[in-house]
Amino acid sequence: MRNLLIGICLGILISVGAYYGKRTAQNYVSSHEMISPIGKILEKPLDKYTINNVSARKFSGSQIILEEPTATTSAYTVYPFHFESDNKKVTGLAHIPTSPEPAEGFPVIVQFRGYIDQKNYAPGAGTEHSAEVFAQNGFMSLAPDFLGYGGSDKPSVDVFEERFETYTTALNLFASVKTLRVADATKIGIWGHSNGGQIALTVLEILHRPVAASLWAPVSKPFPYSILYYTDEADDHGKALRKELASFEENYNAELYSLTNYLSRITGPTQIHQGTADDAVPVAWSDTLAKTLKADYFRYPGADHDMQGAWNTVIARDIVFFEKYLR
């Protein structure tokens, strides 16, 4: 009887081994590995960036180094800064109020800009104007350049890892605020515009705790549609990106990287601003997002993607919002 059982077990093992031996490199073995055509286990390097896996990671942060100030007004001082994110240097721009520092430090607004071509980028682009107003009202602003921009190190050569690194960069910065003596690390809000709004939404999902956030025309559609939507602007109309995407989806489940599947994790107060003349983010996107998040939602007739036509009203509402939740 014992020999019969051993024989059956061996038969099952041989059958299972034969089945897995036929699986290609595109078939999943676990959340971290694949089987190659010759049976060798391969790592899936981008698996660590799924929203669930990044959520399980502990971000301890690094020291934020303030460099020599580049501008000073009666209301604030502008400092270039840098910190480390996963052993890579990331630079950015800080606006720190010159008003008397509260005993616990200034409340902080971490700002994530929208997409800007590297050829046209300078530190503070996309965030500087709002950062000035925040600082004038007693809020410290920290706006990272992100990898590949400003004086930061280069990002991954993989187009999708480069995208996912924006999340880990943002989370490492968030965790690093506590290293600034003038900052109150218990009072941190998030501001995001356009693609920076997409980064903000993903960061909020990963943090999974109440954080006040103001989103200006955020990109809020599922991945990878959220990037395919803009490929008509590329010289090749997205041909190269679609090729990379086909390879990505052979090896990974895109749903695990899509912010729209995790919106229920966003529990903090949120407000959304959307111009009706926005030619980059359709109004319908923000309509849907606002309903899903039950966010305070403001539509501005005739305002464009950068809120021109209503900018002063938008920033004034942000001041009221952050005063309420960060003071």
Residue spans of the domains in the chain: they are 2-43, 47-326
Are the C-beta atoms of residues 232 and 289 closer than 8 Å to each other? Answer: no
Determine the residue type at 251: N
The pLDDT value recorded for residue 37 is 52
pLDDT at 233 exceeding the cut of 50: yes
Q: Helices (H) and strands (E) in the chain — how many of each? A: 9, 12
Each residue of 285-294: b (16+ CB within 10 Å) or e?
A: bbeebbeebe
Instruction: For the full predicted model, state whether its pTM sits above 0.85.
Output: yes
Distances in Å between the Cα of 67 and the Cα atoms of 80, 144, 238, 264 are 5, 14, 39, 39
Instruction: Give the list of residues 6+ apart from residue 73 with CB closer than 8 angstroms, or none.
Output: 98
Output the pLDDT for position 38: 52
pLDDT digits (tens, 9 = 90+) for 254-275: 999 999 999 999 999 999 999 9
Region 276-299: mean pLDDT is: 98
| C-alpha closest to that of 128 among 93, 152, 177, 81 | 93
pLDDT band at 18 (very low <50, low <70, confident <90, very high): very low
pLDDT tens-digit series, residues 28-62: 334 445 555 555 555 799 999 999 999 999 999 99
Backbone angles phi, psi at 106, to 5 degrees: -80, 140
Position 234 confidence tier, pLDDT thresholds 50, 70, 90: confident
Q: Give the pLDDT confidence of 73-108 residue by residue, as tens digits.
A: 999 999 999 999 999 999 999 999 999 999 999 999
Backbone angles phi, psi at 296, to 5 degrees: -70, 125
Backbone angles phi, psi at 299, to 5 degrees: -110, 140
Tens digit of each residue's pLDDT (9 = 90 or more) over 194-228: 999 999 999 999 999 999 999 999 999 999 999 99
Whether the per-residue pLDDT at 24 is higher than 50: the answer is: no
In our burial notation (b when 16+ CB lie closer than 10 A, e otherwise), range 6-29 reads eeeeeeeeeeeeeeeeeeeeeeee
pLDDT above 80 (res 323): yes
For residue 242, what are the contacts with CB-CB under 8 A and spacing of at least 6? 228, 231
Does pLDDT of 317 surpass 60?
Answer: yes
Assess if CATH 3.20.20.70 describes domain 47-326.
Answer: no
Q: What is the Cα–Cα distance from 292 to 289, expressed in whole angstroms?
A: 5
According to the model, what pLDDT value does residue 195 have? 98
- Please give the pLDDT value at position 42: 56
- Residue 143: per-residue pLDDT: 98
What pLDDT score was predicted for residue 8? Answer: 42
DSSP letters along 298-316, please? EEETT--TT-TTTHHHHHH
Q: Is the pLDDT of residue 157 over 50?
A: yes
CA 313/CA 48 separation, integer angstroms:
40
Measured in degrees and rounded to the nearest 5, phi and psi for residue 154 equal -75, 150
